[in-house]
Structure 1
């Protein structure tokens, strides 16, 4: 087989260039220890490295999210702790106000301090974070969570949305605590009421408070199933309780319905409700105390839902307001009225037509009730709209397109701002030398103390929830750190070289380069002239 001179040159040149390139590549690998630079170096290893780098980037993002969540929760926890401290002082003022030696002036002094504490709470509950967003508004960070209404009550404007951030492959945590969870879910202990039915008018001999719910489970399971109850006093030491079906349930009350007419702050417990009883005999009753009290009858039941409405800011020039609302069809109300509130919307084309929507309303919402306004607009016959078992009264004829936010208060919960406002009002009411006013005040005080305790427990639960999330963050941070360390180790094992193997390979490739150079020089020196 004949080989041309050019073939000799080309073959030896290619061998030399290949060996030179391999040697240079190995020298670079020996200097920086990197084995895989491109996918061509190791296709499988390069694909695996890409996956590992993506995981490492996600772990870095998780680390940033953990920091953000921890900072946000720290701010919320600090604010809630400050609120808890104020509530502790509010409770101290409430308890001290029940001192029998306190005068109207003493109670007014407590009311003045309560007013300052109420303002502090209002400010704290509307706190902002470092980004200028409201802490307790849920996803509505630009909306103040609480506003003070014209009647002195407070309304929550935020929502129930938790701002979730992913902190691990399988874990997302809320970076916020909503005002709905922290403040709006405090159980209202004053959700029962009594009414004197016999005699009429009240002769002032028996005072029975509206009651305080001391056991929510008993109240919901036992009390609600038998209401309304009738409490009839049969003598000066005994009363009888019958449920809505006429069954005698007196034995479930304290001491089986017996009481001491001369006792002070007599308390009656019945199916999870504590009632304060006070007896005031009139001159001449000493002839027959039993006859003086026998026949006095009260009804006892849960407070009925109350409906209120507020005018939307974008309404027309009519100035129409919802001045009253009443439940006219109890069964329809329970079946159809939305628990989260409603929107009463006047038709855009006909101001006499209306629709009722579940809140919040959007372009896809469908009405749960529709109708035509009734009434002539006079004081005796106001404009009314009836839907979902509720009749709404309007102050004037509305404009087309007007809307009104409707809220149903079930009395199950009460925010602490309203509780403090009610307590402040009770403390400002004169009662010196007025036993009846004193009795009403003590009932209001019982309500305030119970609701303050409920609000404090709710704030404490929110702080505990934040603490639980903080512990979860710590565990997840450790997990992410361990994953990151193992990820880097795996990347290193794939990307980096074995120094001993690289040096052996470099030595071999250097020898091969030298040999190819010598072979090239030898071939280059060959000539037929040498053999002539």
Structure 2
């Protein structure tokens, strides 16, 4: 076979170029640490690397979102803990104000402390994250949630939504709270019904918040479930300082729940009053004959629900109807109005020898304490929801970290270079390249023209 000189040169040049290209590729792999430099090196692995890199990028964004959500919720939880402290301080102040030894001036001093707690509470309700995002404005993050129109009257300008943050493929976690749910939608009374003393009461009777003995029976009580406890008194000739006190349970139409008759003009009730005893809203064995009924609630009244002379302790005025106390379903009150009403009670405190003023004030305090307890429960419930979401976010963050490691491991297996093998290939190819260069130099001497 005859080979032309140009053919020998072309073969040698092509061989050198191939080895140089291989050497350049190995050098690039060693300098970058990757075995796949272009999709042509391994199309299938390259496509998979792209998918995993994208998934890793999304996973990193989820991690960033989780950290931001956790930070926001922790700020909310910390703020609510401060609100708990303010409510507890006001509860302590209310108990202190109930001391009958305190004068009207001293109660007004307590009101000055209450005013400070009120302003602190308003500031906490309008807390932001430092970037203009309010914690308790619902979905309206850039809207200041609460604005005061007068002491105890605060309007809410947020909404009932919640801002959501995506922390994983299938989970969006709420990070903001509706201020209306936290600070304004608070059930008064015992949460099911509320008791109150009539403003025209003249005795020293103090009504309890009451309790629900059977929630199903209370829920089934006929609407509008607007009742009152009406007291009556008659003189006791043998004991002027121990009058006969009775009471009746009356519905919103003025009809006795016990006798079923209208109560207009009555001067005595069907039940005998015992201070501090249970007043049960159901038919008792001692009641007049009638159909059985049970509304599943009870209250109590302590003290004297009739006017007494401060010295002789004998009744004053005309016998017959005396004090009245209402029992109505609970409604929503807000924390700011609770403090506003408490402030009014502290400023308007008046007392005389009959005990009327002290009883009215104590009834107002009892209402405030009951409402504050409900407000505290509402805040603690919100904290519990926040805590549950923070636990979930922490769990998702752990999963995100695990995925991050798994993605890194998979990518490493697909694209990271085996340095030992690459260095060995580089050295081997260098040796082959050197041999090719030497042999090519010797091939150049094969030309016949050299001997002419």
Deviations 1:407-445 (A, max 9, x none): xxxx62222111011011012123211533333222211
Output the CA distance in 2 between the equivalents of 1:297 and 1:452. 26
Counterpart of 1:221 in structure 2 is: 219
Counterpart of 2:116 in structure 1 is: 116
Counterpart of 2:80 in structure 1 is: 80
Counterpart of 2:279 in structure 1 is: 268
Change (3 A) 1:230 1:453: closer
Conserved? CA contact 1:223–1:272, under 8 Å? no
Conserved? CA contact 1:276–1:443, under 8 Å? no
1:466 partnered with 2:386: yes
Output the CA distance in 2 between the equivalents of 1:78 and 1:188. 26
Deviations 1:366-387 (A, max 9, x none): xxxxxxxxxxxxxxxxxxxxxx
Kindly state the Cα deviation for residue 244 of structure 1 after the two structures are TM-superposed: 7.5
1:431 partnered with 2:442: no
Conserved? CA contact 1:167–1:173, under 8 Å? yes
> Residue 68 of structure 1 aligns to a residue in which SS?
helix
> Residue 351 of structure 2 aligns to a residue in which SS?
coil
Aligned length: 409
Counterpart of 1:148 in structure 2 is: 148
Change (3 A) 1:2 1:17: same
1:383-422 aligned within 5 A: 412-422=331-341
Output the CA distance in 1 between the equivalents of 2:325 and 2:376. 32
Output the CA distance in 2 between the equivalents of 1:445 and 1:178. 28
1:100-499 aligned within 5 A: 100-150=100-150, 152-189=152-189, 192=194, 212=209, 214-215=211-212, 217=215, 221-223=219-221, 225=223, 227-229=225-227, 231=229, 236=244, 238-241=246-249, 248=257, 258-260=272-274, 263=275, 268=279, 270=281, 271-272=296-297, 274=299, 276=301, 278-280=304-306, 292-293=319-320, 302=328, 412-433=331-352, 435-499=355-419
TM-score (norm 2): 0.76
Higher-Rg member (1/2): 2
Kindly state the Cα deviation for residue 234 of structure 1 after the two structures are TM-superposed: 8.1
Output the CA distance in 2 between the equivalents of 1:232 and 1:131. 57
Which has the higher mean CA deviation after the structures are superposed, 432-441 or 48-57?
432-441
Output the CA distance in 2 between the equivalents of 1:30 and 1:112. 76
Change (3 A) 1:51 1:140: same
Output the CA distance in 2 between the equivalents of 1:16 and 1:203. 113
Change (3 A) 1:80 1:105: same
> Residue 160 of structure 2 aligns to a residue in which SS?
coil
Conserved? CA contact 2:189–2:195, under 8 Å? no
Output the CA distance in 2 between the equivalents of 1:247 and 1:443. 25
Change (3 A) 1:218 1:421: farther
TM-score (norm 1): 0.66
Output the CA distance in 2 between the equivalents of 1:24 and 1:213. 89
In structure 2, the gaps of 5 or more residues are 234-243, 260-269, 282-295
Deviations 1:284-341 (A, max 9, x none): x989xxx944x779695637xxxxxxxxxxxxxxxxxxxxxxxxxxxxxxxxxxxxxx
Computed over aligned residues only, the root mean square deviation of the Cα atoms, in angstroms, reads 3.9
In structure 1, the gaps of 5 or more residues are 197-201, 251-255, 304-410
* RCO higher in structure (CA 8 A, sep ≥6): 2
Output the CA distance in 2 between the equivalents of 1:14 and 1:502. 23
Counterpart of 1:7 in structure 2 is: 7
Output the CA distance in 2 between the equivalents of 1:40 and 1:267. 89
Conserved? CA contact 1:103–1:432, under 8 Å? no
Change (3 A) 1:520 1:217: farther
Deviations 1:133-155 (A, max 9, x none): 33322233333221222474122
Output the CA distance in 1 between the equivalents of 2:197 and 2:363. 14
Output the CA distance in 2 between the equivalents of 1:144 and 1:220. 40
Conserved? CA contact 2:16–2:437, under 8 Å? yes
Kindly state the Cα deviation for residue 29 of structure 1 after the two structures are TM-superposed: 2.4
> Residue 446 of structure 2 aligns to a residue in which SS?
coil
